[in-house]
Structure 1
Amino acid sequence: MTNRSRYYIQIKDLPHARGAEAALSYDGAGPNDFAAALQEALRSPLLFQRWRALQPDPDSVDVRLGVTDQLANVSAKAVDLHTDVEVTSDLPMSILRQRLNWLIGNHWQLHDVRPA
């Protein structure tokens, strides 16, 4: 049995929110692009694999950090001067945090977590 959660996240300035590593960073134009990028990062191991390849010793990276959720769902919408993001997944917050930081750095804030 999985413990699916719904994460509520806010991004204050999505057009300028970027991760520290350009090769991993989000480069879209709006909420829908970001939702698609984050959903792909949660469902597919590709972003993790790119990050792992950038590490000094890729073979020493714990492969459990690359866990994915094929059923992860992400939606995002512009509200006033920020972007609201809703993520439904059984991935732990530590993995969601990792993927968000790779995509947009620390330009996000978790507002709530509820059972899905």
Structure 2
Amino acid sequence: MTSRTHYYLQIKDLKHARGPESTLSYDGAGPNDFAAALQEALRSPLLFQRWRAMQPDPDSVDEHLGVTDQIATVSAKAVDLHTEVDVISGLPMSIIRQRLNWLIGTNWQLHDVRPA
């Protein structure tokens, strides 16, 4: 079993945080919607498959970029003027970063990483 990691993230303005490609971007209404969207993006290959289909040569995309974690968990809550997001997953940060960037662009910050 892959070791699990707890990632602590912050989003300054979730209301306006969107990815660069509208067909992949988060379009929810709050922290719970975002947590559900990110959790789905980590557990399911659907977001990756949509991104892959948009590439000039989809067959040349490395399949390993579509790795998922069926038991990844994501929670989010509004705190003051930002959103705090907790992710527990066996996926490497490079994959979590990829999914976050598709959903909300670079509108997030990683604050801490610890073993789960």
Residue 94 of structure 2 corresponds to residue 100 of structure 1? no
Query: What is aligned with 1:84?
Result: 84
1:36 aligns to what SS in structure 2? helix
Q: How far apart are the structure 2 equivalents of 1:82 and 1:51?
A: 28
- Scaled by the length of structure 2, the TM-score of the pair is 0.99
Q: How far apart are the structure 2 equivalents of 1:63 and 1:80?
A: 40
Q: How far apart are the structure 1 equivalents of 2:63 and 2:2?
A: 20
TM superposition shift of 1:2: 1.3
TM superposition shift of 1:110: 0.1
Query: What is aligned with 2:3?
Result: 3
Measured against aligned partners, the alpha-carbon deviations of 1:43-97 in whole angstroms (never above 9, x if no partner) come to 0000000000000000000000000000000000000000000000000000000
Measured against aligned partners, the alpha-carbon deviations of 1:20-54 in whole angstroms (never above 9, x if no partner) come to 00000000000000000000000000000000000
Query: Which ranges of 4 or more aligned residues in structure 1 deviate by more than 2 Å?
Result: none
TM superposition shift of 1:6: 0.2
Amino acid at match of 2:2: T
Residue 43 of structure 2 corresponds to residue 43 of structure 1? yes
Give the aligned length. Answer: 116
Q: How far apart are the structure 1 equivalents of 2:91 and 2:3?
A: 8
TM superposition shift of 1:10: 0.1
Unaligned runs of 5+ in 1: none
Query: What is aligned with 1:16?
Result: 16
2:24 aligns to what SS in structure 1? coil
1:113 aligns to what SS in structure 2? strand
Query: What is aligned with 1:63?
Result: 63
Q: How far apart are the structure 2 equivalents of 1:62 and 1:83?
A: 32
Unaligned runs of 5+ in 2: none
